[in-house]
Every structure is written in structure tokens, then in C-alpha cells.
Amino acid sequence: MSRVVPVWTEIEAPRSLRRTLGIHRMGWGDPTTRLADGRFVRATITPDGPGTLVIRWTADPAPAADCGLDAEAWGPGAAWLLDRVDDLVGADDRPGVFEHAHPAVERALRVTRGGRIGSSRMLYHHLLPTIIAQRITGGEAVRQWAKLCYELGEPPPGPDDLVATMRLPPAPDSLYRRPAWWFHPLGIEKKRARPLTEVARHADKLWRWTDAGAPTTAEKLALLPGVGAWTIGSSLGPVLGDPDAVPVGDYHHPNTVAWALADEPRADDDRMLELLEPYRGQRGRVLWALTTSAGSAPKFGPRRRILPMARW
């Protein structure tokens, strides 16, 4: 007997700005992005130059009209940032439910329905910390991203009491000519240093690729050395608002999905994609909901020792 295909239906639900915007921050120590109850601050680089955006709200979660959202920006990129606030907070995105879905999917979507899939349009900014996070632990990625920003990032525009401890992402001109050995004291080896410099070298093109949509962006990014399926899949959701984007090659995601949907403690990418296939069109949203709320798969064996490259 064939299985009933799940059907996606949008629903109305209060929006959590904190949950929605949290995906744009690389850990608590991200020098470019601060997130607290009622406030989100981002220092970034736009096509018009550097800018700092602050978004404030008074209720969370809350219906969009009742959250008390207010935005302010500084620097040459201020107008560009303010024009895209609605995109960033997922104003046009809607949560939903799947009829005939796996109970774990139903439960995960219900728990996380306050989150929205926004689109930052800041591909350059998002790619840098995502590349740094390739093949290392989350804690290492947070530390290395912070070190890179404090080494090369300029102070952002804005009031001192807001941005005093923040930094802009490294400007493309300060990054793309650096040799691989320069990154070693930060703990970043050649395999990740090269895509960082390649992204910086093509920074001007990234704005055009983003405007061309998710398929074109994915196709163009795949041409850059060291930018593979995991990096692309991790970027299309937060940057372009693609609810179907799935990072292939993640260490944990296949196990989490297989454990939640099939009671299997271990799986590979093919098995993960097979289990997510009934939710095509919203696979990224389902994956995010499961990894956020469904818990981790069982762990076996000793923890791997971290051997940092940096020598001080």
C-alpha cells in the first residue's frame, strides 16, 4: 500500500524575532552580530559600503503588527539595510503544517513555528563564517571567526555605546590577497583559507548572484574552490530565504533526521535526503525544526580530541 504524500498548508502564528534572527549570529562571541531580548545588532558590508543595523522589538513572540518592531541604521549602507528589514525578519514567510506527516515532523514544526525563514541578502557576510565552520566543531568556528574579525575587521559605524566592541566582517580588499600561511595562527588551514580568499576575490559578483535567485546562486558558488554542497546548502536558507535548502555533508544532520524519523542512530546523506523527500519544497524548514527541537541521535565511542593548528 502506498504512503499518503504529506501536504503543506500555511498557518498564522505569532512570530519570534529572536528565534528568526538567531541564525545570522555565529555564536555568542560574534563580533559582527549581537542578539539579546528585544534587540538585534548587525555590523556588515553592503553594496553601498559598511553599515550597522539595529532592530528593536517589545514583544516576542507576537503577531507581526503587535511586536513593536523598530529599526535604525548608520553608515553608507544604512539605506540598503533599512530597505531589507522586512526580508531579514521573514515578514512574508509563513509557518505551516504537513497533513499526514511523521509525528516527529508535526511536533517539531509545532514547537518551532514562531521562527521564520528570512533572507538577509548578505551572502558575503554569511559565507565567511560558514566556510570557517567547515570540518571543525562549533566552538572552534566561533573562536576562529571572532579572531579573524578582530584581526581584519574595521570598527563599524554607529553610536559608541552600541558598537564599541563590534567589528565589521573583513573587507574583501583586506582578505583576498592573503597567503594561506597568514591564517595559520588563527587555526585556519589552507583548505579553508583558500575559499575565504576566493569569496573575497569575487565579492562584487555575489550581489548579482544573490539577486538572480537560489538556483543561480548555488550554481555560481559551486564554481568557487572549496565552496561545496554543505556551504551552499547552509547559505541559501538564511541568505535567500529558501525553505528547501539542505546542507549535504554535515556531521550531525543525517543522524538527527534518521533517529527522529526512522529510529536509526546512524545514517548518511543519501538516507537523510530519502527521509526528507516527502517534504520537498520545505525540506530545509523541516530539517531546521528537527535539529532545533527533536534532540540528538545517540552517541557512541569516545569524543574526538581537538588538535588545533595554531601555535602560540
148, three cell numbers: 579573524
120, three cell numbers: 538577509
Question: Residue 108: its pLDDT value, please?
Answer: 97
Q: Give the number of other Cβ atoms within 10 Å of residue 270's Cβ.
A: 10
Is a pLDDT exceeding 90 seen at residue 114?
Answer: yes
Domain annotation covers residue 302? no
> For a pLDDT cut of 70, what percent of the chain falls above it?
94
Into how many domains does the chain fold? 1
CB of 148 closer than 8 Å to CB of 170: yes
Domain annotation covers residue 311? no
103 Cβ contact list (under 8 Å, min separation 6): none
Domain annotation covers residue 87? yes
pTM exceeds 0.75 for this model: yes
Domain annotation covers residue 306? no
Domain annotation covers residue 29? yes
Q: Which domain, by its residues, includes 109? A: 7-293
Domain annotation covers residue 300? no
Is a pLDDT exceeding 60 seen at residue 132?
Answer: yes
Q: What's the rounded Cα separation, in Å, for the pair 262 and 65?
A: 40
Please state, rounded to an integer, the average pLDDT across all residues of the chain. 94
Domain annotation covers residue 298? no
Identify the CATH number of the domain in which residue 148 sits: 1.10.340.30
Question: Residue 179: its pLDDT value, please?
Answer: 97
Segment 247-266 shows an average pLDDT of 95
Domain annotation covers residue 179? yes
Q: What's the rounded Cα separation, in Å, for the pair 107 and 104?
A: 5
Segment 216-227 shows an average pLDDT of 97
The secondary structure of the chain, three-state, reads CCCCCCEEEECCCCECHHHHHHHHCCCCCCCCEEEECCEEEEEEEECCEEEEEEEECCCCCECHHHCCCEEEEECCCHHHHHHCHHHHCCCCCCCEEEECCCHHHHHHHHHCCCCCCCCCCCHHHHHHHHHHCCCCCHHHHHHHHHHHHHHHCCCCCCCHHHHCCCCCCCCHHHHCCCCHHHHHHHCCCHHHHHHHHHHHHCHHHHHHHHHCCHHHHHHHHCCCCCCCHHHHHHHHHHHHCCCCCCCCCCCCHHHHHHHHHHCCCCCCHHHHHHHHHHHCCCHHHHHHHHHHHCCCCCCCCCCCCCCCCCCC
Query: What are the pLDDT digits (tens) for 37-88?
Result: 999 999 999 999 999 999 999 999 999 889 999 999 999 999 999 999 999 9
